[in-house]
Structure 1
Amino acid sequence: MRISIIDAFTDRPFAGNPAGVCLLETDAWPAEQWMRQVARELNLSETAFVRPLTDDAEADWALRWFTPMTEVPLCGHGTLAATHALRSHGLAGQEPVRFSSLSGVLTAMPRTDGMISLDFPAARPEPAEVPEGLAEALGSPVLGCRTTGGLDILLAELRSEHAVRGLAPDLAAITRQRARGVVVTALAEDPSDGYDFVSRYFAPAAGVAEDPVTGSAHTVLAPFWAERLGRTTLTGYQASARGGLVHCELRGGAADRGERVLLSGRAVTVLTGELSPSAAS
């Protein structure tokens, strides 16, 4: 069984967000417990499992994502990494790659400039009261909050890029928030740096203390900042220790009505090999 570690949303190794990718050759999923064990063994924020589909008119591959602790409904960098792995192994070319997932059919489109664009559902953020204890958990004042329904991510706007970059949150306190993860964001201080907004994402309850670059969070961030800035095309920088750029484009209507978002980035293979037969499912 082929297994790779791929850095996503970056054009160089040891940056962006590393994802494990397991390319399965079976037409059925292996035991879920086994996939969880592989994800725990790799101990990355997410490991993607991909298997071929032969009887689905809407998708070519089935795709699931696991953190070291749980399965997640959507993962941008894992999808980008899976697409890169399929192309690297000659299983996909320049044509769009269609994945069946817990979030519906997701399409990954290789571009002539070397990037890959992911067609994801936009997660429309809804205004919410700032939860009790959130500012204390983050160690920073919170200007406002948004909820994201089924995605279960809490968005917190901070006062500045400096505040986002300087956070040293209490992760134990964040696990007590009623959300799978908390994304913090602020407007870029200098748009000439090449991005419009910054963010960081914390999901310790899912086994991810801080995710380096989070595609699913940008399905929330893109419509949030599009409405603020009056544009449908934006670039976000996730200011983790590794860091990474996510190019975002809302589709399906005006800035406050888009139903889909294109998330674009690059990926680099860092390691590839075979899972030991003794560890195979």
Structure 2
Amino acid sequence: MYFGNNATLAAAFVICRYLDTSLKNIIFHTKSGILEASKDEDLFTLVFPSREGMGCDVPEVLVKGLGKEPKELYKARDYLAVFDSEEDILNLELNMDELKKLDAFGVIVTAKGHEVDFVSRFFVPKAGIDKDPVTGSAYCTLIPYWKKQLNKNKFVSYQLSERGGILYCTDLGENVKIAGEAVAYLEAYINV
């Protein structure tokens, strides 16, 4: 299943900001199932099913696609490639043509962060998204991984993209909770 979280978050933001400012909880019925969104001050929270990765061998095409071999690799819907440092994540030498050859939806890369619990990036060249700026659905796999590594249930993370984003994450067992801020990008009127 693919959870289109950016659209869900944007829809929740628009509903709470422009349609009904008193709303605090919204339930979306989507092709992927029911998605819950809630608003608390400036944070919007989404709840997704947890998707823990299983350890696996590192395919050569992944190494070619990232320009470096990860120290660990897991697979759920996406590959989760774990590196030693935040600098490793920033300095990957990406080859999207190679990443398109992988047998997974996308590739999540992660490492411990300097000022946050962990950092990540997400690549989905098969879907035409080379570098996704902030990806809630990747956290379905990131949160269970970091829960085991850091032995805690709540995290602050940063997605290292040009636009970037801080996410507040909670492991709920079968689900994960992801919270972040949303901002209006564009306001316009269309006359039909």
* TM tier, smaller: over 0.9
Provide the residue aligned with 2:166 in structure 1: 245
Task: Provide the aligned C-alpha RMSD in A.
Answer: 1.6
Provide the residue aligned with 2:45 in structure 1: 117
Confirm or deny: 8 A CA contact 2:55 2:73 kept in the other structure: yes
Confirm or deny: 8 A CA contact 1:140 1:158 kept in the other structure: no
> Secondary structure of 1:159's partner?
coil
TM-score (norm 2): 0.93
Q: What pairs up with 1:123-162 in 2 under 5 angstroms?
A: 123-148=51-76, 152-162=77-87
The Cα of 1:104 is off from its aligned counterpart by 1.6
Q: What pairs up with 1:146-185 in 2 under 5 angstroms?
A: 146-148=74-76, 152-185=77-110
2:23 to 94, 97, 110: 94
1:81 to 10, 19, 23: 10
Q: What pairs up with 1:249-260 in 2 under 5 angstroms?
A: 249-251=170-172, 258-260=173-175
The Cα of 1:78 is off from its aligned counterpart by 2.1
The Cα of 1:95 is off from its aligned counterpart by 3.0
> Secondary structure of 1:216's partner?
helix
Unaligned 5+ residue runs, structure 2? none
> 2:177 aligned with 1:262, yes or no?
yes
Confirm or deny: 8 A CA contact 2:28 2:35 kept in the other structure: yes
Confirm or deny: 8 A CA contact 1:212 1:243 kept in the other structure: yes
Provide the residue aligned with 2:34 in structure 1: 105
1:86 aligned partner, one-letter code: I
Unaligned 5+ residue runs, structure 1? 1-71, 252-257
Q: What pairs up with 1:166-205 in 2 under 5 angstroms?
A: 166-188=91-113, 190=114, 193=115, 195-205=116-126
Residues 227 and 211 (structure 1), Cα distance of their counterparts in 2 relative to 1, 3 Å cut: same
> Secondary structure of 1:268's partner?
coil
Confirm or deny: 8 A CA contact 1:74 1:216 kept in the other structure: yes
> 2:137 aligned with 1:212, yes or no?
no
> Secondary structure of 2:139's partner?
helix
Please identify the structure whose Cα radius of gyration is greater: 1
Confirm or deny: 8 A CA contact 1:197 1:235 kept in the other structure: yes
Confirm or deny: 8 A CA contact 2:117 2:157 kept in the other structure: yes
CA distance in 2, matches of 1:269, 1:132: 41
The Cα of 1:73 is off from its aligned counterpart by 2.1
1:147 aligned partner, one-letter code: K
